[in-house]
Amino acid sequence: MGDDTRTGTRSTMIACPECDALQMEPRRIPRGTSVSCWRCRTVLIHEPRKGIDYVFSLIVTGSILFLIGNAFPLVSLEAGGNGVTTTLLGAVLHLWGQDLQLVAALVFVTTILAPAFDLAVMLYLTLGVLRVDAGRTAEMPPFSAKLLRAVQVVRPWGMLEVFMLGALVSIVKLGQMASVVVGPALYSIGALILILAAANSAFNPREVWSRLPIRQDDEVVA
């Protein structure tokens, strides 16, 4: 193992997180199958059925839906001859203007910032994996490991589905008082929730980890 880290070649040994049994990591794992520990049968590696190109296509679709979700109106309200149309960012600014800065900041982080970061990082990483696989470059783009960790921390803050639920309840309630027209952004956000869930379940972080070079600097912590 020590020789592996010095020469930069990949280690093929993995340890079971449950029983610590060391075992050889198979070089190729067929899609849709799992590798279990020889001793306790804990699943060590699960290879999703779909490849990284499928995740990439989902992320590209998600990014387009995100742009539509931010550029177009969420809802249009009309009551007593007055019409109001709002976008996602418009709703945040409106909350801020109403002296609800904390709520505005929470809505901004959970519906705009966190999903944008998630989509941008996933686009960056999946594109990196595809470029390495296509032989265009030998290495993953810079900061891949840091971004992969960061996206796993930021992802739980993306709460588009909570926002969606709140928006739907408000629309039903407001529908009794005013005429409400659901805008294209709300449909896009609805579709984006499904696309993000599909992309996250199909994405295997091993696709990134296995393409990163073995660290040469502080690989051993004394």
Q: How many CA atoms, within 13 angstroms, populate the side-chain half-sphere of residue 192?
A: 28
Site for Zn ion in 96-115 (CB under 5 A): none
Among the listed residues 13, 40, 79, 102, the single contact to Zn ion using CB under 5 A: 40
Q: How far is the CB of 34 from Zn ion (least distance, A)?
A: 13
Distance CA 108, CA 70 (A): 11
Which of 6, 11, 13, 19 contacts Zn ion by CB under 5 A?
19
Tokens 């709002």 identify what position? 86
CB of 16 or CB of 208, closer to Zn ion? 16
- Name the token pair of 121: 């990082």
User: Binding to Zn ion by residue 18, rule CB under 5 A?
Assistant: yes
Helix axes 160-174, 184-202, angle to 10 degrees: 150
Smaller CB separation from Zn ion, 39 or 49? 39
Q: Please select the residue that binds Zn ion; options are 39, 49, 94, 173, rule is CB under 5 A.
A: 39
Is-contact 210 29, C-beta < 8 A?
no
Task: Work out the end-to-end distance of the chain between its first and last CA atoms, rounded to an integer number of angstroms.
Answer: 16
Residue 37 binding Zn ion, by CB under 5 A: yes
Given the complex with Zn ion, which of 42 and 170 has the nearer CB atom? 42
Q: Which stretch binds Zn ion (CB under 5 A): 6-14, 35-43, 76-84, 135-143?
A: 35-43
Stretch that binds Zn ion, among 8-16, 72-80, 87-95, 161-169 (CB under 5 A): 8-16
Indicate the DSSP class of residue 141: P
Segment interacting with Zn ion, rule: CB under 5 A, options 42-50, 64-72, 103-111, 153-161: 42-50
Helix 88-97 vs helix 101-108: angle between axes, to the nearest 10 degrees?
160
Q: Can you read off the two tokens belonging to residue 144?
A: 């891949």
Which spans of this chain sit near Zn ion (rule: CB under 5 A)?
A: 16, 18-19, 21, 37, 39-40, 42
